[in-house]
Amino acid sequence: MIVSDKVIIDLTDNFAQVGEPIEYSCVCDLDDGLLPYPNASLAKTEVRLNVTFVKPNVQAEGTIVCLIKGFCDRCLKETVRSVELPFNQTFYKDSAPDEDGYVYSGSRLDATKAVCDEIVVSLPMSFLCKPDCKGLCPKCGVDLNERQCDCDTDRENVFAALKNLKF
């Protein structure tokens, strides 16, 4: 499979088969700046779509699979995770009905911006090694996923003084 920095779909077959989905897939080398994680990079992005020409628009639905390398936000372990994101977008011929719509012209559809936008809005805000990561002890720094420590981590509620305020 060819690796590209763009998601370009040739619609020639779609035009000949109106209403019939045609499979499209590619591996992309997209910009790491899409990630909300400061210490992570997109190792690989795979786009798998069913593309359907519905006169005059094109409907694309499928998945974006991002392989992300970085450090867990809680325990700081080096982590590699695969995140699968749904993709469902309509591309309008020549002009979109609103400013947020995506447009194509001719027989080539550049879906790069739509794929990048989907990655930006769909990725979770935290990059974790596993969903139930316990993180590090705030006092001694031990990885709580590997063992418990004896530190007293009970903290006083800093907002408790607000209960005594009278309005």
| Six-digit token string for 144 | 């709580």
Ordered by start, the domain boundaries in the chain are 3-133
The tens digit of pLDDT for each residue in 36-63 reads 888 888 889 999 999 999 888 999 999 9
Confidence at residue 40, expressed as pLDDT on a 0 to 100 scale: 87
pLDDT in tens, 65-102: 999 999 999 999 999 999 999 999 999 988 888 888 89
**Quick one: average pLDDT of 11-33?**
86
How far is C-alpha 110 from the chain's CA centre? 18
More confident residue, 144 or 153: 144
Pairing of strands 78-93, 102-104: parallel
Please state, in angstroms and rounded to a whole number, the distance separating the CA atoms of residues 37 and 81.
13
Q: Please report, for residues 85, 104, 112, 154, 167, the alpha-carbon distance to residue 64 in angstroms, rounded to integers and kept in the order given.
A: 5, 20, 12, 42, 53
Mean pLDDT of 131-158: 87
